[in-house]
Amino acid sequence: MPYDVNQPPVRSRRPVRGGALLAVAALAVACLSGCGGPSGPPEAGAGASPSATATDTPTPRPAGTPPSGDAKPADPGAEPGAGTGPLAEKVVVIDPGHNPGNFRHTREINALVDIGTHRKECDTTGTSTNDGHTEAEFTLDVSHRLRTLLEKQGARVQFTQDNDRPFGPCVDERARIGNKASADAVVSVHADGSGVGNRGFHVILPALVKDGSADTTKIVGPSRELGERIAGTFVRATGSKPSNYVGGGTGLDVRGDLGGLNLSTVPKVFIECGNMRDAKDAALLTSSQWRQKAAQGIADGISTYLLG
């Protein structure tokens, strides 16, 4: 059994609402024997560095380009093509956290934008491992793998960025891209930058926020279902344990301070796949084999959510 859901966390920064604790723990345990369907903000990174090499690393494709690569321009707002399969006509927006160029544009990404409840920095550089593998490199690699898996099932997949712009987009624009696409699901891919000994993944869910231009009333429920599905299938695919420092051992964390969630009008979650600052987690996060498992876990969660 990959983990004990009853093991107490080392530290919980944000308690999850009580009603979901047992439900998500049960879902994660159930996924160990088989699930239905197909199989705090990060600290600033240390700057760009060479990517971890992998023979099976997917080839990047400009955002908005359909699988055949011959129909539409590289426009992040353009609707991608769809294939055939169980997810045909479903629209999934993948939001690779940060941008490899952010560290060269600190003035721009430090500019404040409206996230509904208050103003916050456009974006951050993201974190990195102690060896210099950046979060932005990690999120793009996992996102490319995730796109391939979803498109094989017929989904229309769109990126918020694919290292095809100097920096960003800002968190408010990331939300608008998903909204404009009328996405059935949006997943923002990240890795955390916490202290040594803090290990495991967690999925961030939108809190109930209704203030200013932010109103998550309609997406809280479906986003929670999406997040619970991903948490359960991520355990199954990777063998990783839920975070021992966030979410009370459930692998779920509810937040109302993230513009990407506050401004979303479609179901959306973030996933922090592990802690880049812990050597044991970093060894996983820089492994091409583990990244493929991570992508599979996220894809399975999205699929089971979309297929009901």
Q: Answer yes or no: is 45 within a domain.
A: no
Domain that holds residue 221: 87-307
| pLDDT value at residue 86 | 97
Interacting residues of 14 by C-beta distance below 8 A, sequence separation 6+: 246, 247, 253, 254, 255
Low-confidence ranges of the chain (pLDDT < 50): 1-56, 59, 62-81
Catalytic residues: 272
Q: Is the CB of residue 269 less than 8 Å from the CB of residue 188?
A: yes
Q: Answer yes or no: is 166 within a domain.
A: yes
Q: Is the CB of residue 176 less than 8 Å from the CB of residue 76?
A: no
Q: From residue 193, how far is each of 46, 81, 98, 223, 274 by CA, in Å?
A: 11, 35, 13, 24, 9
Q: How many domains does the chain have?
A: 1
The CATH code of the domain that includes 295 is: 3.40.630.40
What is the pLDDT of the chain when averaged over all its residues? 82
Buried (b) or exposed (e) across 115-134, using 16+ Cβ within 10 A? bbbeebebbbbbbbbeeebb
Round to whole Å and give the CA distance between 43 and 128.
Answer: 9
Q: Answer yes or no: is 99 within a domain.
A: yes
Helix/strand/coil (H/E/C) assignment for every residue in 13-68 = CCCCCHHHHHHHHHHHHHHHCCCCCCCCCCCCCCCCCCCCCCCCCCCCCCCCCCCC
Round to whole Å and give the CA distance between 24 and 151.
Answer: 27
Task: Count CB-CB contacts under 10 A for residue 280.
Answer: 12
Q: From residue 149, how far is each of 57, 86, 90, 144, 187 by CA, in Å?
A: 13, 12, 14, 9, 14
31-49 pLDDT, tens digit per residue, is 443 443 333 443 333 333 3
Round to whole Å and give the CA distance between 244 and 84.
Answer: 40
Interacting residues of 65 by C-beta distance below 8 A, sequence separation 6+: 72, 73, 74, 80
Interacting residues of 229 by C-beta distance below 8 A, sequence separation 6+: 27, 35, 301, 302, 304, 305
Q: Answer yes or no: is 221 within a domain.
A: yes
Q: Answer yes or no: is 15 within a domain.
A: no
Round to whole Å and give the CA distance between 81 and 75.
Answer: 13
69-119 pLDDT, tens digit per residue, is 333 333 444 444 456 899 999 999 999 999 999 999 999 999 999 999 999
Q: Answer yes or no: is 299 within a domain.
A: yes
Buried (b) or exposed (e) across 138-149, using 16+ Cβ within 10 A? bbbbbbbbbbbb
| pLDDT value at residue 84 | 85
Q: Answer yes or no: is 26 within a domain.
A: no
